[in-house]
Amino acid sequence: MKTLLIVRQPTSDTGTHSVATIDALSFKGLECPWRNNQRMISCIKPGTYTATKKMSARFGRETYHLLNVDGHDEIEIHPANWAGDKSKGYRSDLEGCIALGLMAGIIGFPDGSGKQDGIGGSRSAMEQFEAYCHNEDIQVTIEWAPGAEPEQAAA
């Protein structure tokens, strides 16, 4: 079984960036900020999960879903650009899910109303990722980079 390794960088109000690799493929990852594993607003706890392709109610097509995620359901890997803390006025396309992209940086909003730290090339990254995985189940291992784990996550 192939393993997608997600190594998280320090979290901030604009999201949690990471480096996501699966064999020789490498992507920029993005998740919500760490908010003590709260449903819909926090990235999930680090660990190793099985992900399987199944129908997404949100997207109307199959996406990878992480199974048996403590405190969460419907954690998907899907395209997105922003993952900020909405309660602090930031934009987010994620509700606890994981996004993959080709580049990270300041991304402008399509309506021209502003910009925010995020990832770009997400649809292309997802196409590469899904083609490489051939609809087979995969393992997803999520960990914090050394020194990146938030203080409240260590408790």
Which pLDDT tens digit goes with each residue over 102-122? 999 999 999 999 999 999 999
What pLDDT, on a 0 to 100 scale, did the predictor assign at position 151? 78
In single-letter form, the type of residue at position 34 comes to W
Secondary structure of residue 51 in the 3-state scheme? strand
% of the chain beyond a pLDDT of 90: 94
Mean pLDDT of 15-43: 97
In single-letter form, the type of residue at position 94 comes to L
Mean pLDDT of 128-147: 97
Taking the C-alpha atoms of residue 142 and residue 140, their distance in angstroms, rounded to an integer, is 6
**What is the model's pTM?**
0.95
Query: Sorting pLDDT into bands at 50, 70 and 90, what band is 153?
Result: low
